[in-house]
Amino acid sequence: MTDGYGMTVTAPRRSSALPSHRPQRSPRTTPRWFADLGGVVAGLTMLIVTALWVRNGGVQQLAGGGSDAVSAIGRLTGLWASDLLLLQVLLMARIPLAERAFGQDRLARWHRWTGFTSFWLMIAHIVLITLGYAGAAHANAFAELWDMIWTYPGMLLATAGTLALVMVVVTSIRAARRKLRYESWHLLHLYAYAGVGLALPHQLWTGTDFIGSAASTAYWWTLYAVSAGAVLAYRIGLPVWRNLRHRLMVERVVPEGPGLTSVYLAGRDLGRLPVRAGQFFQWRFLDGPGWSRSHPYSLSATPHGRGLRITVKDLGDGSSRVASLRPGTKVLVEGPYGKLTGETYAGGPVTMLACGIGVTPLLALLGELPYRPGEATLIYRARDEREIAFREELEWFAAYRGVRVIYLLGPRATRPSWLPAQYADHTDAGALRQLVPGIAGSHVYLCGPEAWTEAAQNAAREAGARPEDIHTELFAW
């Protein structure tokens, strides 16, 4: 059937046979106060660093004027840069509590912001300290910089660390990232850890603000230890433990359509894997060369403790090899990650908007959320009928769980819009309100390409959905 826009709709049919698709074990939820606490702690670290600078004579040196004042500001910018750099490491240490509280895309945005800010503060530190020292010695600034690098303890290592960070920052600029494959960018990005590690000896051997008082020494060693410990525990230790415990392997591979492949995975004790519908893992398939490069794929079926399923679209970035995986292939994972979950959903209307392969996490959510028949609507955007994945499963949800499924087919609009071209004369919010009259009271879940998701998110807000009820997440890199 079709609606007033001429869009294909699979109407819900009520049935008493509603098999359970909910997971056997729900992971822990995150306290709401944790998100606020994270921002407060980050701000406090900057205040502590500034207070330590004051205690170690920063204000007196600044008041002295001349080259001493320049050096004092250089010290402060260096301290701020170091603090933000370590916070940046913590933001992407994959700490489970932080992942559940903020979501990986928000953490990645903060990671980029703190990264670029700490980088420019570091550059200011280098320039100001060099000028300050050169002024005090009445020397040429370039000659002073060269002398510092070759004669000050730890400065050669710090220089190597700075070059590593410069490379990371340059490749993190959006224009540069677009020209790199994800796995290449990810490998280069790991040099940030080298940059942080190489800077440590210089700071602890020659940094007055690091060794000038017991409080300073205790603070900086604690911050370094927490940052390094988080990386070792959550980027290395936890994934190793989970892989040894669950021992995932490919059970079977199923073609779903043109360029679309589902991988069913088996393992041990999967009921104890703390994953929710809507989340994703970083996957490595041990099928030959290239296994070390991980790829982020969402679960495309509700996790139920007996197995997992992902569905991958061939995008030419290494995803094409998924179709050739053989049963028995061993798999390594990192995760689960993501906040596109039903953690805050306690019932009521649900509206889901999916574009292309973005339907996969929403399909998993359809099986987990405890909505009643007739309360859920899925709007599925695709270029044509051939690109619609999981039609049979969607029809099952329509028949047995009362889900209203709407297919939006056709080429993309010439203007930024979540609607296809033939409906682009309608406003984004107006079309959404007509398709889902109760959108203002719905929990809204969105997944698709970045520009499409942004347009759909704006439409949901303009249509009356509350910001706290709009759930979306992008793979962060």
pLDDT, tens digit (0-9, with 9 covering 90-100), for 384-431: 888 888 999 999 999 999 999 999 999 888 888 999 988 878 899 999
- Residue 225: CB atoms within 10 A of its CB come to 10
48 domain residue, yes or no: yes
Q: For the chain, how long is the longest CA-to-CA vector?
A: 88
pLDDT for 43 equals 83
Task: With cut-offs at 50, 70 and 90, classify the pLDDT of residue 360.
Answer: very high
404 domain residue, yes or no: yes
DSSP SS3 for 395: helix
Q: 41 and 160: one domain?
A: yes
Q: Mean pLDDT: which of 176-185, 198-207, 265-274 is highest?
A: 265-274
Indicate whether 308 pLDDT > 80. yes
Q: 40 and 139: one domain?
A: yes
pLDDT for 1 equals 40
pLDDT for 288 equals 79
Torsion of CA 427, 431, 436, 440, to 10 degrees: 10
Q: Is the whole model's pTM more than 0.95, yes or no?
A: no
Q: 110 and 63: one domain?
A: yes
Q: Mean pLDDT: which of 63-67, 312-316, 323-327 is highest?
A: 323-327
Q: 201 and 221: one domain?
A: yes
Indicate whether 20 pLDDT > 50. no
Q: 17 and 38: one domain?
A: no
- In order, the DSSP letters of 405-417 are EEEEESPBPSSS-
Last residue of a domain, one of 314, 337, 360: 337
pLDDT for 249 equals 96
477 domain residue, yes or no: no
pLDDT for 321 equals 82
Q: 452 and 367: one domain?
A: yes
Q: pLDDT tens, 243-287?
A: 999 999 999 999 887 888 999 999 999 999 999 999 999 999 998
Indicate whether 123 pLDDT > 80. yes
Comparing 202 with 185, the larger pLDDT belongs to 202
Question: Which residue segment(s) compose the domain that 238 sits in?
Answer: 33-242
Q: 324 and 218: one domain?
A: no
Task: With cut-offs at 50, 70 and 90, classify the pLDDT of residue 174.
Answer: low
Distance (Å, rounded) from C-alpha 314 to C-alpha 292? 19
Indicate whether 135 pLDDT > 80. yes
Q: 392 and 407: one domain?
A: yes
Sheet containing 443-447: which strands, arranged edge to edge?
8-10, 404-409, 376-382, 350-355, 443-447, 470-472
Q: 72 and 145: one domain?
A: yes
> What average pLDDT does the chain have?
82
186 domain residue, yes or no: yes
Q: 461 and 372: one domain?
A: yes
Task: With cut-offs at 50, 70 and 90, classify the pLDDT of residue 115.
Answer: confident
1 domain residue, yes or no: no
Share of the chain above pLDDT 70, in %: 82
Distance (Å, rounded) from C-alpha 374 to C-alpha 401? 8
Q: 175 and 290: one domain?
A: no
209 domain residue, yes or no: yes
* CATH code of the domain containing 465: 3.40.50.80
Distance (Å, rounded) from C-alpha 35 to C-alpha 269? 31
Q: For residue 400, which of 22, 10, 13, 21 has the smallest C-alpha distance?
A: 13
Last residue of a domain, one of 189, 220, 242: 242
134 domain residue, yes or no: yes
Helix (H) and strand (E) counts for the chain? Answer: 17, 12
Q: 326 and 348: one domain?
A: no
pLDDT for 10 equals 47
Indicate whether 227 pLDDT > 50. yes
Element holding 292 (H helix, E strand) = none
Q: Which of 19-33, 111-125, 143-157, 181-195 has the lowest mean pLDDT?
A: 19-33
Task: With cut-offs at 50, 70 and 90, classify the pLDDT of residue 221.
Answer: confident
What sign has the CA pseudo-torsion 87, 88, 89, 90?
A: positive
pLDDT for 476 equals 46
pLDDT for 182 equals 61
Last residue of a domain, one of 242, 273, 304: 242
Indicate whether 116 pLDDT > 60. yes
Q: pLDDT tens, 203-212?
A: 766 666 777 6
pLDDT for 75 equals 86
CA-atom Rg of the chain in angstroms: 26
Q: pLDDT tens, 442-470?
A: 999 999 988 899 999 999 999 999 998 99
216 domain residue, yes or no: yes
Rounded to an integer, the average pLDDT of 312-328 is: 80
pLDDT for 477 equals 46
Q: pLDDT tens, 26-67?
A: 445 555 555 566 678 878 888 998 998 888 888 888 888 888
Q: Which of 8-12, 57-61, 372-376 has the lowest mean pLDDT?
A: 8-12
In the chain, the number of structural domains is 3
Q: For residue 192, which of 117, 290, 86 has the smallest C-alpha distance?
A: 86
Indicate whether 361 pLDDT > 80. yes
Distance (Å, rounded) from C-alpha 379 to C-alpha 400? 18
